[in-house]
Structure 1
Amino acid sequence: MFVINLHYIVPLDELDAHMKEHVAFLQKYYKEQVFIASGRKVPRTGGIILAAGRTKEEIEAIMQEDPFSTHGLAEVTVTEFLTSQTHPAFKKLLKEVFNS
């Protein structure tokens, strides 16, 4: 599993001009069953995406497609971690959808 950390490096109005493209990017990888959850940080300095089922290199390559990356709007860090404990419902979801 991976935690993808986006840190915005431009003013929010510049970022918001590309939000529709970014949401389309997210939806693509939800449909491909790569992304599990995503959302804004509080305060709004970036975002977090949870991903599963791929190697770190594949996730990094996917994130290069994000309009926030291609337009130089955010710095992206991918951290891989091994889940040792999960809520039973989450564990079931991972097995059903991601075969983890």
Structure 2
Amino acid sequence: MFIVTVTYTAPLDEVDRWRPAHDDWLRHLIAQRSLVVAGRQVPLVGGVYLAPEMPAEELDSLLATDPYVLHGVATHNVLEFTPLLVATGLEDLTAQG
């Protein structure tokens, strides 16, 4: 599993210009379960995603299609981890052993 942090590299008015396309991109990835959670950082300096287990190269390819990245207003940082304990109902997020 991966935690992806998004950091805005441009002023918010420039980021907001691409927000509708970015939101569509997120909704599509969540619908196909390529991302399982997406949200804004507080304060609003970027965002955070949770991505399920997949080859790192596949995640990199998906993230490269983010409209924020394509238009140079944000960058991603990826942290891979192995979930071992989860709340009831989220068992499908644990490592496949």
Fold shared, TM-score > 0.5 on shorter chain: yes
% identity of equivalent residues: 29
Letter in 2 for 1:14: E
Indicate the residue corresponding to 2:76 in structure 1: 76
Q: TM-score, normalised by structure 2?
A: 0.91
Counterpart mapping for 1:1-100 below 5 A? 1-91=1-91, 94=92, 100=96
- 2:14 alignment partner, SS class: helix
Gaps of 5+ in 2: none
- Distance in 2, Cα, partners of 1:35 & 1:63: 10
The CA distance in 2 between the partners of 1:3 and 1:87, in whole Å, is 17
- The gaps in structure 1 that reach 5 residues or longer are none
2:84, 2:11 → 1: CA distance? Answer: 38
**For the residues of structure 2 that align with 1:4 and 1:55, how far apart are their CA atoms?**
14
Indicate conservation of the 8 Å contact 1:56/1:78, yes or no: no
With structure 1 as the length reference, what TM-score do the two structures score?
A: 0.88
Length, aligned pairs only: 96
Q: Provide the aligned C-alpha RMSD in A.
A: 1.7
